[in-house]
Each structure stands twice: as structure tokens, then as C-alpha cells.
Amino acid sequence: MEIAERLGNYAATGNESDLKIPAEDLAMTVTPHYGSAALGKLAADSETANKAWNSAIDSKNSAEEKRLLASQKTTFKSMIDLCRGVDSGTPISTYESYLSTFDNGIVKPQNPLVTSSTTPKAIVLTPVGTVLKVGDAATLEFANGGETGKFKYTVTAIDQASASDLTEFNSDDLKKIGRVFLVRAEVQPEYTDITTDIDKYPAVDYIDPQYLATSSDGSAASQLITFGSVKACGNEPGAADKPRKLCALIGTTSKTAAITEVGLRSLTPEGTLPDTALYSWKK
């Protein structure tokens, strides 16, 4: 994923230094953490490609850059195939979205982001516990892997899923659910100075929102965990100059209830999730 992230950063800033993977990221070894030998081999191949990528950028070897992008696309596609039916829909759809990034290659921005000559305004965080309307943004902090950054997070829609949205679901499983709703959101980094902040922020693609939900009749409603991707509710890769689009599925126990409010309880599914929301959005 590192090479894809660098392509995204460069597409925003136009700084060639942003194409290179930071040394601390190259030093991280993830292979031993994979239980699957096949998945571990793919992770090792990806790590090797990451190191070769920096060398290709330094030497301006465009042929080697193209070879590595094609290689990484093949690796990611194999990872996706191995994880189908095992991992949750969020990481699968994230990996799928990177395939086009490898196809696009190194794209120089038409309007690169630049540092303003004026003193930047401080980024003010939205107080925890704030209730917003759907479409309004909360500014919050996200930390991952020792990096912390400020992000603008917006729930953009809460819509009931149509039958065509749910074709990947088993019909027997759907009978156990009252209604299914799609919670769509957007998240984007908020930089004080993009030229210095961009390499200090955690990648927006690590964000995997976890929600609480309130129904119109008070009946129980909760976020659904899926295995494999759901085309109608996929995630897109993020970038410094455009928001990452996210989608989550909420199921009700009632056949007539609507979802009137969602609460963001966490930006990742890791650890013990709180029973209260950091921020909420009402329709």
C-alpha cells in the first residue's frame, strides 16, 4: 500500500520527494504477522518492491517504475483473492480501489498544493459529543502507527438500501434483518502546512469507521459486518487534495424502522469500542 500512498501524495503536491517511501516505513517488516504462508509471501514481495521503488525514483528509471507498479498491482490482486470471504468488506474494497492507482502511475498534478506565504490559521477540533446534521463536517484527530493528524469527517447520507444494493447478500441472512441502510461519509486531511504535515499524518486509508445507530421507533439497530466486498457500499482511496469516500451498512431489527441518527464511536475497529459516540449526525 505504501507505493500507492506515495502516488497519492505526489498527485496532490507535485513534490518529487513525496514519491519516495520514508525510511521508517521501509524499516517496518509485516511478513511475520501473517498467519497464511501465501499471504506472507505476497507481503514479502511487496516489501521488496517498496525498497526497489525508492531506488527507481532516485535514478529516474521510468521503465523500472512501470515494472514495479505492474508487479504491485499483481501482488495486490492476489492479496484480494486470498482475503475474499475471510476479511471484512472494508479492507477488501480499499485494496480493490488501489488497482486503478497502479494503472494510473505517476500523475503530475495540474494544480499542486503549495504552502501559503501567510501565517496558517490554527485548526480547531470539533468538541467531542457534538451532534451535527447530515452533510455537516466535524474536525477530529486520528492517530495510527505513532502518527497523528487532523481530519475533516462528514456523514453525507443515510439511505435505505434497495434490493439491487444487496445482491451479494445471502437471501436467508437478509430475512434475519429488518432493513439495511447505507451510511455514506467523506474524510479528508486538514493540514496546517501540507509541505511539512503530509509525511507526519497517518494515511487516511487506515480509517474504517465504526458506528452506533438510532432507529425511528427505538428498536435495535447496529452496524453489519460483511465478508467480501459490497459493490453498492465500497470505499475509495483517499488523497491530500480530495476526500476519501466511505460507506458502512446498518441493519435494523424492525421491518418498518428508519435510521434517524448515527454516532461515530471509533475511526477503526481495533480495541474495545466505546458505548458512546464521539460525534453524531442526525437526518
What pLDDT shows up at residue 110? 66
The single residue listed with the C-alpha cell 430475512 is 175
54-58, 147-151, 169-173: lowest mean pLDDT where?
A: 169-173
Give the residue with greater pLDDT, 250 vs 205. Answer: 250
What is the set of domains in the chain, with CATH numbers?
2-104 (no CATH), 131-282 (2.60.40.1240)
Choice among 4-8, 25-29, 45-49, 261-265 with the minimum mean pLDDT? 25-29
pLDDT value for 116: 54
CB 150 within 8 A of CB 140: yes
The angle that helices 62-83 and 37-59 make with each other, rounded to 10 degrees, is 160
Three-state DSSP state, 187:
strand
Q: In what order do the strands lie in the sheet with 221-223?
A: 131-133, 279-282, 259-266, 210-215, 221-223, 244-252, 180-189, 147-160, 137-144
Q: What is the mean pLDDT of residues 267-274?
A: 89
The answer to which of 6-10, 107-111, 196-200, 265-269 has the lowest mean pLDDT is 107-111
Range 162-184 burial, b when 16+ CB lie within 10 A, else e: eeebbeebeeeeeeebbbbbbbb
Q: What is the mean pLDDT of the chain?
A: 83
Burial of 77 (0-12, 13-18, 19+ CB in 10 A): middle
Question: What cell does 16 get?
Answer: 518529487
Check residue 203 and give its pLDDT: 81
Closest CA to 187 of 228, 235, 227: 235
Percent of the chain residues topping a pLDDT of 70: 82
In this predicted structure, what is the pLDDT of residue 258?
A: 97
CA 108, CA 129: separation in Å to the nearest integer? 40
Rounded Cα gap, residues 18 and 6, in angstroms: 6
Instruction: Tell me the pLDDT band of 259, cut-offs 50, 70 and 90.
Output: very high
Of how many residues is the chain composed?
Answer: 283
Among 250, 246, 163, which residue's Cα sits nearest to residue 215? 250
* Sign of the four-CA dihedral 248, 253, 257, 263: negative
Tens digit of each residue's pLDDT (9 = 90 or more) over 119-130: 667 899 999 999
What is the reported pTM? 0.68
pLDDT of residue 90: 47
The model's pLDDT over 233-256, given as tens digits with 9 standing for 90+, comes to 988 877 666 788 999 999 999 999
79-88, 158-167, 200-209, 257-266: range with highest mean pLDDT: 257-266
How far apart CA 4 and CA 56 sit, in angstroms, is 15
Residue 89 has pLDDT above 50, yes or no: no
